[in-house]
């Protein structure tokens, strides 16, 4: 049976994570799900981001995934903990009530999903773990969605591991929407990227490392390179998330065995497959098949 690793994002951003996962784990099967119909998530409330993310995770479980990576910082900041602590630990029948396709219908429904071996991981922790080795000045900037910045997830997590690092956050409303609109290489993108980078650096001119705390942002790399002064590192997180997943599979032999190895990737979107294909082609160098699904 195919048990791909699920990768979820509000839209196209998680593709930047998927690329790195495939690079690092080329034999694994993956399912990518972009909730493009409801993207961006960045300025949505905690409750809404949690609800949308939970629906996507349950859909991916019902499609055969045992392990789902939230390839989205906003979802990782606002929904991961509740999903891990509540949804995965409740008796499965409660969760199945929301999903007519069900999760592994043959299994004992009284058992929690966690006991049945289902897991969800996020992108913030793996990124935070490397921050200490990237900065020399110990002044780090985080650019992310309003939701991620407001959650303070990055500053809280970084201060636990590296209390000496000063973290300055900058919310970047519109950046994800610019990517979703296919306008990453435009004057508009240059304008909004430079505006927010300028705001960030005026808050703390000693920043030497800027973490892209939104998976959409690597798609704005050209605009970022123009806006960020030389000598400041721009750090996308995909590579670190991929290394953390590889390490996780090395440490969890049951999960490593459960995730199938056919080297396939299947793409799903909640919006138009034609549009997904077109936009995804801008950064994936391959022709892909995309299927529309409802959450």
Among the listed residues 65, 214, 259, 279, the single catalytic one is: 214
Sign of torsion over alpha carbons 264, 20, 295, 90: positive
Task: Give yes or no for residue 236 binding ligand DGL (CB under 6 A).
Answer: no
- Residue numbers 174-193 binding ligand DGL by CB under 6 A: 176
Task: Give yes or no for residue 270 binding ligand DGL (CB under 6 A).
Answer: no
Task: Give yes or no for residue 141 binding ligand DGL (CB under 6 A).
Answer: no
**Is 92 one of the catalytic residues?**
no
* Residue 33 three-state SS: strand
CB of 183 to ligand DGL, least distance (A): 15
For ligand DGL, the binding residue among 6, 40, 141, 218 (CB under 6 A) is 40
Helices 238-251 and 14-24, axial angle in degrees (round to 10): 50
CA distances to 156, 199, 215, 233, 259 from 236, rounded to whole Å, are 19, 20, 8, 10, 26
CB of 143 to ligand DGL, least distance (A): 10
For ligand DGL, the binding residue among 216, 242, 279, 290 (CB under 6 A) is 216
Among the listed residues 72, 92, 259, 279, the single catalytic one is: 72
End-to-end CA distance of the chain: 23
Residue placing its CB nearer to ligand DGL in the complex, 4 or 213: 213
Task: Give yes or no for residue 172 binding ligand DGL (CB under 6 A).
Answer: no
Residue placing its CB nearer to ligand DGL in the complex, 195 or 257: 195
Residue placing its CB nearer to ligand DGL in the complex, 3 or 50: 50
CB of 11 to ligand DGL, least distance (A): 6
Instruction: Give the whole-angstrom CA distance, residue 188 versus residue 195.
Output: 11
Q: Where are the alpha helices (DSSP H) in the chain?
A: 14-24, 46-62, 73-78, 80-82, 92-96, 124-134, 146-151, 153-161, 175-180, 187-203, 221-227, 238-251, 253-258, 273-281
CB of 211 to ligand DGL, least distance (A): 11
**Is 72 one of the catalytic residues?**
yes
State the pairing for strand pair 67-70/233-235.
unpaired
CB of 239 to ligand DGL, least distance (A): 15
CB of 5 to ligand DGL, least distance (A): 18
For ligand DGL, the binding residue among 135, 148, 151, 270 (CB under 6 A) is 148
Query: What size, in residues, is the chain?
Result: 295
Instruction: Give the whole-angstrom CA distance, residue 38 versus residue 10.
Output: 7
Q: What are the backbone angles phi and psi of residue 176, rounded to the nearest 5°? A: -65, -35
Task: Give yes or no for residue 10 binding ligand DGL (CB under 6 A).
Answer: yes
| Residues labelled as active-site residues | 72, 214
Residue numbers at the binding site for ligand DGL (CB under 6 A): 9-11, 13, 39-42, 72-74, 145, 148, 176, 214-216
């Amino acid at each position: 049976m195919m048990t791909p690793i699920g990768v979820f994002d509000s839209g196209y951003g998680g593709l930047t994570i998927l690329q790195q996962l495939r690079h690092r784990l080329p034999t694994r099967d993956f399912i990518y799900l972009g909730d493009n119909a409801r993207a961006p998530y960045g300025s949505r409330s905690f409750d809404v981001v949690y609800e949308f993310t939970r629906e996507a995770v349950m859909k991916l479980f019902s499609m055969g995934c045992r392990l789902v990576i939230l390839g989205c910082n906003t979802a990782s900041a606002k929904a991961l903990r509740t999903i891990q602590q509540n949804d995965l630990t409740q008796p499965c029948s409660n969760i199945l009530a929301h999903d007519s396709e069900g999760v592994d219908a043959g299994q004992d429904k009284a058992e929690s999903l966690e006991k049945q071996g289902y897991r969800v991981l996020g992108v913030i922790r793996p990124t935070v773990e490397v921050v200490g080795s990237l900065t020399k000045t110990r002044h780090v900037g985080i650019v992310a969605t309003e939701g991620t910045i407001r959650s303070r997830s990055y500053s809280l997590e970084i201060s636990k591991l590296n209390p000496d690092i000063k973290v300055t956050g900058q919310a970047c409303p519109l950046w994800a929407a610019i990517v979703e609109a296919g306008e990453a290489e435009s004057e508009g993108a240059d304008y909004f990227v430079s505006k927010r980078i300028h705001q960030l650096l005026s808050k703390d001119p000693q920043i030497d490392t800027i973490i892209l705390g939104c998976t959409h942002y690597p798609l704005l790399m050209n605009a970022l390179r123009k806006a960020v002064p030389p000598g400041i590192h721009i750090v996308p997180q995909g590579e670190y998330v991929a290394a953390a997943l590889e390490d996780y599979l090395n440490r969890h032999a049951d999960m490593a065995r459960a995730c199938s190895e056919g080297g396939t990737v299947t793409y799903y979107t909640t919006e138009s497959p034609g549009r997904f294909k077109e936009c995804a082609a801008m950064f994936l160098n391959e022709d892909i098949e995309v299927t529309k699904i409802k959450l």
